[in-house]
Structure 1
Amino acid sequence: MNNKTKNIHNQNKNKLFVASIATVVALALFASPLVAIDDAFATKKKNKAQQSISQSQSSAQNALCASGGTTFLSCNNVNFQHQFNSGNNALAQTGQGENSAEQSISQSQSSSQNSQVVSGGDTIGSGNNINIQSQTNTGNNAAAQS
């Protein structure tokens, strides 16, 4: 085989190699949307998740004093409320069907106080309402669905 024939043969090999690579790339570009049907159309994936951490405090106080004499530190309402939450909500879902998850960490406090004093003399330390409430939550919510 002479040099001219070898060069033509090598050029044909290179053209065939480049054409093969171009064909593979074209097939990959054409077939990739068809292979990823779930991601392209996403018809089978339904996830629903609701997470909530809520805290609520309420206090209603009322005091009435009627005196014909001294009323020292009377008819007072005192309320201390404390809430501490270090809990977490964590949720993981995959779309292999319908997923639904609801998580909640909730704390609530309420105080209703009423004080009435009617006196014709001293009412030292009388008629007071004191309310101390404390709540602590260190729990966690975790859910995983597939």
Structure 2
Amino acid sequence: MNKTNIHNKKYVITASIAIVVALALITSPLMAIDDAFATHKKGNKAKQSISQSQSSSQNAGCVSGGTTFLSCNNLSFQHQKNTGSNALAQSGHGGNFADQSISQSQSSSQTSNVVSGGNTIGSGNNINVQNQENSGSNAAAQS
């Protein structure tokens, strides 16, 4: 084989591949359109959620025959921050259903018991600080 025949074979193979890819790109959207128009009952269902949850359970018990200074304290600091977005877009025949939510929950349960024979200054305190911040968006678009 000479160099011209090899070059021509490479050209034919490359051109054949390009034609197959072009046909696939052209026919695939047409197939999807035909399917959608044929049924007229297709719709979209979407469910999205962003959930954050925190829980704190603390128990403290002190029994002392003397002074219980700064003892049996429960401290709970909880912070939730959501800066993300929850976006949804749908288009379809036959109706669309979208269920979106952004939820944040926090709970704290604290118990403190102090039994002392002396002073209980600064003891048996339950301190709970909770913060929730949501600067994200929750948007849905349907047609």
TM-score interval w.r.t. the shorter chain? 0.3 to 0.5
State the structure with more CA Rg: 1
Q: TM-score, normalised by structure 2?
A: 0.41
Q: TM-score, normalised by structure 1?
A: 0.41
